[in-house]
Amino acid sequence: MNALRCFSRSVLPALALWLLCAATVTASEPLPAFDAQYNIRGFGFQIGEFHSSLANSPDGNYRYETETRTIGFIARFNKDVVRERSNWIWHNSIIRPITYTYQRTGGKKSRSAKLDFNWSRGIVENTIDGDTWKMPIRDGVLDRLVVQLSMMLDLKAGMRDMKYTFADGGKLKTYRFRIIGEERIETPSGTYDTVKLERVMDNDKRSTMLWCAPKLHYLPVRIDQREKDDNYSMMLAKYSER
């Protein structure tokens, strides 16, 4: 099984990995710049690493980047590296994506995608492996990568049930999350008091749980996904603010 692809296409959006018709963030300030590193475990071993970083600039532009790669015995058979980037602005107290890029290299099949958001025209231009088409969007639609940031901001604003619409693969998709409790979690980077969330699904074939730490602006410090006989976990290993 392609474990990296499973995480990059299903778990990370839920952070990603993470998932309204609009993002209803009410915070007055965006998140601070940070760097985070996670260990991905599956089959009883560490099988990958996930890095994310948020950067900002004085002109009000923000950049969120992630990189996922296999390591250890999995990397002997699958050397995929997935890189994603979202450039966005803070508009009317919500995240507004400008461009999103996706690139998978190193494996048997490479893949690239780019989304250009034109808010004045209400469209997003999708380019996937060289093919381009346009799709209408409404105000508040996200890209798949900044769903995580919007969720962090909504948790900070006190929301308990969250719904996000994002453009992905030429479609508008919706992810929903809800808080189901609180729990103290131990990770390689330390021990955190967290709120526990689950992704609300229409079926029970897959379950995704997230533990988000208020101390880290509600950054997920652990993400678990279960699907049939495949169980994966992602734990925060390092975190720093810039």
In this prediction, residue 27 has a pLDDT band, given cuts at 50, 70 and 90, of very low
Residue range 44-100, pLDDT digits in tens: 889 999 999 999 987 889 999 999 999 988 778 888 899 999 999 999 889 999 999
Given a cut of 50, whether residue 236 has pLDDT beyond it is yes
Alpha carbon distance, N-terminus to C-terminus of the chain: 37
Residue range 115-154, pLDDT digits in tens: 999 999 999 999 998 899 999 999 999 999 999 999 999 9
What integer best gives the mean pLDDT of the chain?
Answer: 87
Domain total of the chain: 1
In this prediction, residue 2 has a pLDDT band, given cuts at 50, 70 and 90, of very low
Residue 1 has what pLDDT? 44
Q: What domain range includes position 235?
A: 3-241
SS (H, E, C) 102-167: EEEECCCCCEEEEEEEECCCCEEEEEECCEEEEEECCCCCEECCCHHHHHHHHHHCCCCEEEEEEE
In the block, residue with structure tokens 């919500």: 94
pLDDT above 70: percentage of residues in the chain:
88
Residue 3 has what pLDDT? 46
| Helix/strand/coil for 7 | helix
| Pairwise CA distance, residues 142 & 47, whole Å | 29
Given a cut of 60, whether residue 26 has pLDDT beyond it is no
| Pairwise CA distance, residues 65 & 145, whole Å | 8
Residue 29 has what pLDDT? 56
Given 3-state DSSP classes, what are the helix, strand and coil percentages for the chain, each rounded to the nearest 5? Answer: 10, 60, 30
Residue 187 has what pLDDT? 97
Q: What is the DSSP letter of 31?
A: P
Given a cut of 90, whether residue 23 has pLDDT beyond it is no
